[in-house]
Amino acid sequence: MKVLLIGSGGREHAMAWKAAQSPKLTRLYAAPGNPGMAGLAECVPLRPEDHGAVVGFCREKGIDLVLIGPEAPLAAGLADDLRAAGFRVFGPSKDAAQIEASKVFAKHFMARHGIPTARYAVFQRYAEAARFVEAVDYPFVVKASGLAAGKGVILPVTKEEALAALEAVMVRREFGAAGGEVVIEERLSGPEVSLMAFCDGRRVAPMPPAQDHKRLLDGDQGPNTGGMGAYAPAPMCPPEMVDEIVETVLRPAVSGLRLERRPFVGVLYAGLMLTERGPQVLEFNCRFGDPETQAVLPLLEADLLEVTLACAEGRLDEVEIRWQGGAAVCVVLASAGYPAAPETGRPIRGLEALPEDVLCFHAGTKSVDGQIVTAGGRVLGLAAQAKTLGKAVEKVYQAVERVEFEGRQYRRDIAFSGLVTESRIETDFFSGPGHGIAD
């Protein structure tokens, strides 16, 4: 199979690493890719926004499958244009991607299909939103509706903060067009879990649940980031709870999207809060999570190309998705100044000295005269897999010490919340076949 992978981050490096293990693969192209992927894929300077150029490239190379990593090209309809030209694509259509690209769509969709989520209201006008905020007597959060690179959620503590947040989003448009509409929703509490599932338009096959660490600093302090590390499986979401979420969230979502004539093909990601009322959806994403993928794909025993091709061809019932026992963890190394204003261009040392059983996924790097330098906020994700989460954590942090660049920031407590309940995963947690569920 000749495969084109769209994207350039740590998630896509992990996808390339896993795809490259497939005996089916004859050629892997990454557009645009990154220096870490260069040994696995031929990096091509295609711009994903130029759909005509991507289609032309697929024709010229005879591409058998296109894997789309990030949300932006999905929301822009790249999958639609590729499918219209006859190519097989792993990634949802523009209409199906609305589940992530429009929080208003997602909330109304969940309401229509009885999917558990926080109570909410939608506003297009500042004055009305402000009046609502003055009136409600429960804690709430404010969300810009459109794609805002993970920054569109504000958790105000006081009414004054809430009004200031609404003004920033709706009047000053600090998140651009994403702030044309806002969702104000009830504030929930509980541990957060990311449950991703392979989908073929009518079936879902859940992956081991993962936990992201969104805040910059240890103990969940500091500003929100794209994600500072992740691990899987998350023991606070044991297999019975995965089954519950499949039944109450993933299955209704996939069948609802199909009923509404926007069948979902790709990875459906449910961001959940495990509340006293049970699991509630905070958000859906229409793609693999970053950095969750860097901790989940190392546990996938099945052939990623076989699984993604089966999704693209609507026959997920024909593949056995096997997962390894044990656990995996990914720790992100970020630049000084991240997330506000990352410093870049710093040489990275120690990459050659990493142990063989530690994975190093590039996210924001660049090769300058043969030297790898930092080129973004999140620079690298180091990942390790082991029989227990404790051993995976030990292994990854030993490796973290070996990689250096000026101003390097990382969290020292990735996966610690999972270690507290380690006993749950020592015992063959979530190993065995993935349960594909036919509708």
Contact 178, 147 (CB under 8 A): yes
Choose among ligand GLY, ligand AMP, none what residue 185 binds, the Cβ cut-off being 5 to 8 Å by kind.
ligand AMP
Residue 35, preceding peptide bond in cis (omega within 30° of 0): no
**In this complex, which beta carbon is closest to ligand GLY, that of residue 156 or of residue 381?**
381
**In this complex, which beta carbon is closest to ligand AMP, that of residue 40 or of residue 188?**
188
Cα 98 to Cα 118, 153, 170, 268, 408, distances in angstroms: 19, 17, 20, 12, 36
When asked if residue 10 is in the footprint of ligand GLY (CB under 6 A), the reply is no
Q: For residue 420, give the DSSP letter.
A: T
**In this complex, which beta carbon is closest to ligand AMP, that of residue 66 or of residue 195?**
195
- Nearest alpha-carbon partner for 290 in 19, 3, 51, 13: 13
Q: Which of residues 378-407 bind ligand GLY (CB under 6 A)?
A: none
Please select the residue that binds ligand AMP; options are 283, 290, 292, 303, rule is CB under 6 A.
283
When asked if residue 289 is in the footprint of ligand GLY (CB under 6 A), the reply is yes
Choose among ligand GLY, ligand AMP, none what residue 187 binds, the Cβ cut-off being 5 to 8 Å by kind.
ligand AMP
CB of 62 vs ligand AMP, minimal distance in Å: 38
Show the site string, 178-217: x = touches ligand AMP by CB under 6 A, - = not: -------x-xx---x---------------------x---
**In this complex, which beta carbon is closest to ligand GLY, that of residue 116 or of residue 150?**
150
Tokens 């620079």 locate to 379
Please select the residue that binds ligand GLY; options are 285, 308, 335, 365, rule is CB under 6 A.
285
Site size for ligand GLY (CB under 6 A)? 7
**In this complex, which beta carbon is closest to ligand GLY, that of residue 209 or of residue 227?**
227
| 308 vs 91: CA distance, rounded Å | 9
Q: Which of residues 212-241 bind ligand GLY (CB under 6 A)?
A: 212, 227
Sign, CA dihedral 328-438-21-41, equals negative
* DSSP E strand boundaries for 310-439: 321-323, 327-334, 358-362, 365-368, 371-374, 378-386, 432-434
**In this complex, which beta carbon is closest to ligand AMP, that of residue 81 or of residue 185?**
185
CB of 37 vs ligand GLY, minimal distance in Å: 18
When asked if residue 209 is in the footprint of ligand GLY (CB under 6 A), the reply is no
Strand partners, 2: 27
The distance of Cα 407 from the centroid of its chain, to the nearest Å, equals 26
When asked if residue 294 is in the footprint of ligand GLY (CB under 6 A), the reply is no
| 67 vs 219: CA distance, rounded Å | 35
Tokens 């050629």 locate to 27
Choose among ligand AMP, ligand GLY, none what residue 252 binds, the Cβ cut-off being 5 to 8 Å by kind.
none
Residue 291, preceding peptide bond in cis (omega within 30° of 0): yes
Q: Would you state the structure tokens that stand for residue 68, as one six-digit string?
A: 């789309």
Q: Which of residues 214-233 bind ligand AMP (CB under 6 A)?
A: 214
Please select the residue that binds ligand GLY; options are 37, 292, 328, 393, rule is CB under 6 A.
292
**In this complex, which beta carbon is closest to ligand GLY, that of residue 309 or of residue 383?**
383
| 405 vs 24: CA distance, rounded Å | 37
- Nearest 10 degrees: CA dihedral of 224, 225, 230, 235? 20
CB of 143 vs ligand AMP, minimal distance in Å: 6
Query: Which parts of this chain interact with ligand AMP (CB under 6 A)?
Result: 118, 141, 143, 153, 185, 187-188, 192, 214, 271, 282-283
